[in-house]
Structure 1
Amino acid sequence: MELSGFSEEQLAVRDAITKICSDFPDEYWAKHDESGEYPHGLHAALARDGWIGIALPEELGGAGLGISEATMMLHTISESGGGIAGAQSIHANVYATQPVAKFASAEQRQRWLPELIRGERRVCFGVTEPNTGLETLKLQTTAKKDGDSYSVTGQKIWISSAQVATNMILLARTTPLDQVKKPSEGLSLFFIPLDKSQPGLEMTKIKKMGGRAIDANQIFFDNYRIPADSLIGEEGQGFKIVLHGMNAERCLLAGEALGLGYAALQKAATYSRNRVVFGRPIGQNQSIQHPLASAYMHLEAAKLATYHAARLYDRSKEDKSITAKAVGVAANSAKYLAAEAAFTACERAVMTHGGMGYAQEFHVERYLRECFVPRIAPVSREMIMSFVAEKVLDLPRSY
């Protein structure tokens, strides 16, 4: 990857994270992908050096940096060979805590975030449901106030790291949909304990194609009691609050996709320089060179889009001329472009290796399995295109 144009802070993050990740090579990730064991070692190493709180306030123990630097951190973890699995081990702890840092009370922030930054807490993000999918405004999980607690009933799906999380940032309905004036009202955000020993909570793992070191789960709530003071901000305003973290997540996931693509491309280039067929390295053949060169250029273009979006996100906090629409379009575009560029790089890396690309020992098959994640989540390619068509091209809304 070309490094010119990055800030001193971003390059310092890249150097520091590269050093940490050197203790967790491809073989570490292949082993954990095979066994499904969570990468506790990487999480502990990042927590020990304070990186879990990279984008959280300094007064709480965080680094006080921006999403630009956090994107570089997750990009670097992914590029080290950790891929999407490595990055996802701390993904939610970076982006899902942004609304907490902004909208929680001072007492709540002090109670929750320092322990998270130190690695003593871990969070997962509970939004997606099996019957609503991307229709977030129609979520069916309910949280009903009952004295000094809420009773949560419903189901969430594709919740990553729930098996190891101590807490969940939960979006749930506190007012029935037919009783609100606007669809965006009636949802509330909570920072809840995730205590499997308590009644009303059940988790089941989802067997999945890639990134198997990070558990994905279905979670069932049945009158699960949570403290009333786990509510973040005002009741009924949770959707507006959670939007604050969504553009950040798109930037972070774009960085993760880029890292995976660059890692795959490097494997392909190394193999094609060393693999000799018919008396010459296969990398001398244009049929190998051109697809890899094209993949590189697409990654570089997506890189520019990604860090432009992250920069807009950070600057929008101070520069009011940067609109929410501009940040949303940039972040969604970056996620789309990086995911597509990563897919191309990973697919071509496998094909460059030929039959050995199908072998686990060369790691590119693992990269290919993981590169579908940023194409699917947290929002599909098609939804992004519809969003851009509406917001930029002023076309009629299609969803």
Structure 2
Amino acid sequence: MSLDHRLSDEHEQLRRTVEEFAHDVVAPKIGEFYERHEFPYDIVRQMGEMGLFGLPFPEEYGGMGGDYLALCLALEELARVDSSVAITLEAGVSLGAMPVFRFGTEEQKREWLPKLCAGERLGAFGLTEPECGSDAGGTRTTAVRDEKTGEWVINGTKCFITNSGTDVTGLVTVTAVTGRKENGAPLISSIIVPSGTPGFTVAAPYSKVGWNASDTRELSFADVRVPAANLLGEEGRGYAQFLRILDEGRIAISALATGLAQGCVDESVAYARTRTAFGRPIGANQAIQFKLADMEMRAHTARVAWRDAASRLLAGEPFKKEAAAAKLYSSEIAVTNAREATQIHGGYGFMNEYPVARMWRDSKILEIGEGTSEVQRMLIARELGVG
């Protein structure tokens, strides 16, 4: 495999376009949305018009005909400015639309993907439950077939679900136990539940530490009925499906984390050049210079890691270990860079008017969401043959 991760002209043009959008459109407005804990509908609408939600999908389904690398480039550039907007795109594509594309029937694809690719509707992935966060195999939500109507009847609760309660949310793909194997192990299936289905209740938004301009909710299902045709893929294959989705998603989260880490560098360099203390810019002090050098080194290394994992995915090669390593490293250095950026800014780094304060609040979840750091280490060890 080539280790040359330089971008093609097409990918570089996309990266620059999103970079410009992030700085010209997102940066001036997002702080106000963030402090109000308000979803930025207008920004998301513009992202849809740009085709960002359709980046990795074929044109026949309303997509842009790009690839997963294109999506990750967009995520990194958005997260350099704001992670709430970036996670809205990440969850909408890799968790919302990608399961439909990977495992859906042709009818399901044609019904849902054009709206999801256009950003007219957002999709969500209902996996996590209150009693089994990292143990997704312990799913307690159930779906039982009504023998008379053939419908699925769903009961259970999901938590921490991104994009699940916005005005433009169209569907949530829910994992549920639909039967038992001979050994008693659960058969977990994925089922599409359209927003507004009777019995499907979306709770009020969580009060979160970070990602305050993104939508995160608890969901409950009380005898929710959906047609048999809403089954996504084969019955009993939901567990394997979400493992594949999460493997890909770790690359996307790594790109997002890399963007946050790079954003911390960007803001800190600009601040170090203009902030004076003791008669000179603080950037003239070697202690600050070394902090900035280490921050840049971390962001650069994280970028190489996620691009390597992405290139393996695109080449059809095994990428599970590389995706886990990229997610683990980039999320942890995002937290480190956010802490160092806040330190460089001093008291101003503790003020919400400065982007680094937002980045500090947003960074910690990256070590938790879509697989904790501990889970990533388990996965890497397993791939090494010792787990």
TM-score > 0.5 by shorter chain: yes
Matches within 5 A, 1:236-315: 236-315=236-315
How far residue 91 of structure 1 moved from its aligned partner, in angstroms, is 1.6
8 A Cα contact 2:202 2:217, kept in partner: no
**CA pair 46-200 structure 1, distance change in 2 beyond 3 A:** closer
- Partner residue, 1:355: 347
Specify the alignment match of 1:385 in structure 2: 377
Output one character per residue of 1:240-280: Cα deviation in whole Å (capped at 9) or x when no partner. Answer: 22222112210111111111111111111111111111111
* Counterpart-to-counterpart distance in 2, 1:182 and 1:55: 38
Counterpart residue number, 1:94: 93
In 2, Cα distance between equivalents of 1:130 and 1:30:
30
Helix, strand or coil at the partner of 1:207 = coil
Find the aligned partners of 1:108 and 1:193 in 2 and give their Cα distance. 12
In structure 2, C-alpha distance between the alignment counterparts of 1:334 and 1:4, rounded to whole Å: 15
After TM superposition, give the deviation of residue 22 of structure 1 in Å.
3.6
Runs ≥4 residues deviating over 6 A: none
Query: How large is the RMSD of aligned CA atoms in angstroms?
Result: 1.7
Cα pair 1:186 1:236 within 8 Å, conserved: yes
1:250 is aligned with what amino acid? Answer: R
Give 1:292 shift: 1.3
Alignment-derived partner of residue 24 in structure 1: 25
Paired with 2:196 and 2:258, the residues of 1 have a C-alpha distance of 35
**What's the secondary structure of 2:154's corresponding residue?**
strand
Distance in 1, matches of 2:182 and 2:272, equals 60
TM-score where L is the length of structure 2: 0.94
Change (3 A) 1:237 1:25: closer
CA distance in 2, matches of 1:78, 1:68: 15
CA contact (8 A) 1:262 1:299 kept: yes
302 and 273 in structure 1: CA distance in 2 versus 1, 3 angstrom threshold: same
Return the alpha-carbon distance in structure 1 between the equivalents of residues 127 and 10 of structure 2.
32
1:166 to 167, 170, 180: 170
CA contact (8 A) 1:20 1:45 kept: no
Give SS of 1:191's match.
strand
Q: Map 1:33-48 to 2 at 5 A.
A: 33-48=34-49
Q: Counterpart amino acid of 1:41?
A: D
- Identity percentage of aligned residues: 28
User: Relative to 1, partners in 2 of residues 1:297 and 1:202: Cα closer, same or farther, differing over 3 Å?
Assistant: closer
Of 153, 162, 171 in structure 1, the residue corresponding to residue 155 of structure 2 is 153
| Distance across 2 between alignment mates of 1:4 and 1:386 | 27
SS state of the match for residue 24, structure 1? Answer: helix
The structural deviation recorded for 1:172 is: 1.1
Select between 341-350 and 201-210 the one with higher mean Cα deviation.
201-210
Q: Is the 8 A contact 1:32 1:38 kept in 2?
A: yes
Structure-1 residue corresponding to 2:7: 6
When normalised by structure 1's length, the TM-score is 0.91
1:333-382 Cα deviation digits (max 9, x unpaired): 00111112211211111100111111122221110000112111111111
| Aligned counterparts of 1:367 and 1:295: Cα–Cα separation in 2 | 14
Kept after mapping to 2: 8 A contact 1:39/1:89: no
Q: Is the 8 A contact 1:204 1:219 kept in 2?
A: no
Q: Deviations 1:46-73 (Å, cap 9, x if unpaired)?
A: 2112221111112111112221111001
SS at match of 2:161: strand
Residues 206-228 of structure 1: CA deviation (Å, up to 9, x unaligned): 21101111121111111111222
Q: CA deviation at 1:14?
A: 0.7
Q: Greater CA deviation, 152-161 or 167-176?
A: 167-176
Alignment of 1:57-206 (within 5 A): 57-79=58-80, 81-82=81-82, 84-96=83-95, 97-146=97-146, 147-164=149-166, 165-176=169-180, 179-181=181-183, 183=185, 186-195=187-196, 198-206=198-206
Aligned counterpart, 2:228: 228
Q: CA deviation at 1:7?
A: 2.3
* Distance in 2 of aligned mates of 1:387 and 1:89: 26
Contact 2:306/2:323, CA 8 A, preserved across alignment: yes
Q: Secondary structure, in 3 states, of the residue corresponding to 2:190?
A: strand
- Report the CA distance between 1:180 and its aligned residue: 4.5
